[in-house]
Structure 1
């Protein structure tokens, strides 16, 4: 089990939204998922996966974020904000600005890596794809010769 990060009231935390947090694995292993776009949740936005909260109280396992004051949390607008959050979902502690910057940098790592991988994949496959598509066109012409001019 991963040790909890030390939190004090008034600090800001970067934490996983509960459904995206490490369920059956340790935090380091879970964070490594962000080597891919969205950490495996490709169509989800950064605000859905990560929350940034100001902490009001800390207990042994949960912490209490300040969710009732506008501006005291940075989350997806339709997220259900609970009074107690599990400390095992906390990634880092710092200022609000630093936690937002860290959140965005973590998320960008996988996006950048996948963008480069996709670009290289398409570059490498370009000649092969052109050959296969040309062969497919020839097959269509042979299958339906009455629609195409004779290739003599």
Structure 2
């Protein structure tokens, strides 16, 4: 089991929103998923996956938050009691936790952008040749539209 991040009343925490939390793996493995864009949730924003909360009270397995001071996606359903197993980091300021959230999320986005750019660069000469072959096959399959000499 992953050890909980030490948190205290009054601190700000960066935590996974409950649906995105580490349920099937250790926190370290779960966070490594963010080496790719969105950590597996490509269409989600950082504000949906990660929330920033101000801690009101700490219990052994949960903590209570000030829902008025949380930084979360507007459509998120936020409960005042959160699982400690979803806390990624704790700090003294809201801004520090937002910066950390954005940094974690940007790592995977930037990496995925570089990988995609390289992928398209490598396929640049290959793709037109393959498309030309496909057009020839379409022409050959439909001689009544493209003529009998289509190959």
What is the DSSP-based 3-state SS (H/G/I as helix, E as strand, rest coil) of the residue aligned with 2:89? strand
Q: Out of 126, 129, 132, which is 2:130 matched to? A: 132
| Alignment coverage as a number of residue pairs | 149
Deviation at 1:148, TM superposition (A): 4.1
CA offset digits 1:28-49 (Å, max 9, x no partner): 1110000111000111111110
Residue 78 of structure 2 corresponds to 81
Deviation at 1:135, TM superposition (A): 1.1
Structure 1 residue ranges, 4+ long, deviating more than 6 angstroms after superposition: none
Residue 18 of structure 1 corresponds to 18
Deviation at 1:25, TM superposition (A): 1.3
Deviation at 1:146, TM superposition (A): 4.8
The gaps in structure 2 that reach 5 residues or longer are none
After TM superposition, the structure 1 = structure 2 runs for residues 74-113 of structure 1, keeping only pairs within 5 Å, are 74-94=71-91, 95-113=93-111
The gaps in structure 1 that reach 5 residues or longer are none
TM-score w.r.t. length of structure 2 = 0.92
Deviation at 1:143, TM superposition (A): 3.2
Deviation at 1:101, TM superposition (A): 0.5
TM-score w.r.t. length of structure 1 = 0.91
What is the DSSP-based 3-state SS (H/G/I as helix, E as strand, rest coil) of the residue aligned with 1:81? coil
Residue 5 of structure 1 corresponds to 5
Residue 56 of structure 1 corresponds to 56
CA offset digits 1:68-88 (Å, max 9, x no partner): x2xx11001111111210011
